[in-house]
Amino acid sequence: MGLRKILTDKEPALHKVCKPVTAFDAKLHKLLDDMAETLLDSGGVGLAAPQVGILRRVVLVDVGGEEPEILELINPELLETSGEQYGPEGCLSVPGKYGLVKRPNYAKVRAQDRDGNWFEAEGEELIARCFCHELDHLDGIIYTQVMDRFLTEDEM
Ligand SMILES: [Zn+2]
């Protein structure tokens, strides 16, 4: 286990399209364990591999309530979305800022687990927002590219 450094959106890694994971091996498991530790340490809701400098299609989302419950999504694809939500969104790679972003209110994804087995996961509200935000990272998209505007200091 080990904490990884979270890159900011100034780094080129955050703006690249990530490659699929093809090897479900010890190296992937170490990455997932390190990312989970990094996410829990950060207090964030989600973390994508490019945020720690790894250009692979790996995302973690904390789907828990009061207790963290880390969902590992490898090679995730958006299967279905519905509804709409509009509100503030932040990113560990854009520290100290929040922007207003429109997202679907419901999202269903398909992904592989750490052993390569496909499964589906779904969520509403914050989880749906997080799925969309994190999957965008895998295509080099930061929320600041799809937001309306940053929140002002008064609004924060
Ligand atoms: Zn982010």
Q: What residues have a C-beta under 5 A from ligand 1, the ion?
A: 91
- Rounded to the nearest angstrom, the distance between the alpha carbon of 110 and the centre of ligand 1 is 20
Q: Is residue 133 part of a domain?
A: yes
Residue 41 lies in a domain: yes
Separation of alpha carbons 2 and 70, rounded Å:
16
State how many domains the chain has. 1
Residue 155 lies in a domain: no
CA dihedral in degrees (143, 148, 150, 154; nearest 10)?
A: -140
CATH number for the domain spanning 26: value is 3.90.45.10
User: Quick check: 75 and 111 in contact, CB under 8 A?
Assistant: yes
Which residues form the domain of 102? 12-150
Q: Provide the pLDDT for residue 18.
A: 98
Q: How far is the CA of 8 from the centre of ligand 1 (A)?
A: 9
> Is 140 part of a structural domain of the chain?
yes
Which residues neighbour 4 within 8 Å (Cβ) at sequence distance 6 or greater?
34, 35, 38, 52, 53
Is residue 69 flagged as an active site residue?
A: no
Is 38 within the bounds of a domain? yes
CB of 125 closer than 8 Å to CB of 89 = no
pLDDT tens sequence for the chain (156 residues): 699 999 999 999 999 999 999 999 999 999 999 999 999 999 999 999 999 999 999 999 999 988 999 999 999 999 999 999 999 999 999 999 999 999 999 999 999 999 999 999 999 999 999 999 999 999 999 999 999 999 999 998
Distance 24 CA to ligand 1 centre (A): 24
- Centre of ligand 1 to C-alpha 133, Å, is 6
Buried residues in 17-55 as b, exposed as e (16+ CB within 10 A): ebeebeeeeeebeebbebbbebbeeeebbbbbbbbbebb
DSSP 19: B
CA of 47 to the centre of ligand 1 (A): 7
- Is position 17 within any domain? yes
Within-domain flag for 90: yes
3 inside domain? no
Q: Write down the catalytic residue from 66, 134, 153, 155.
A: 134
Tokens of 100: 């207003």
Using DSSP's 3-state secondary structure scheme, residue 15 falls into helix
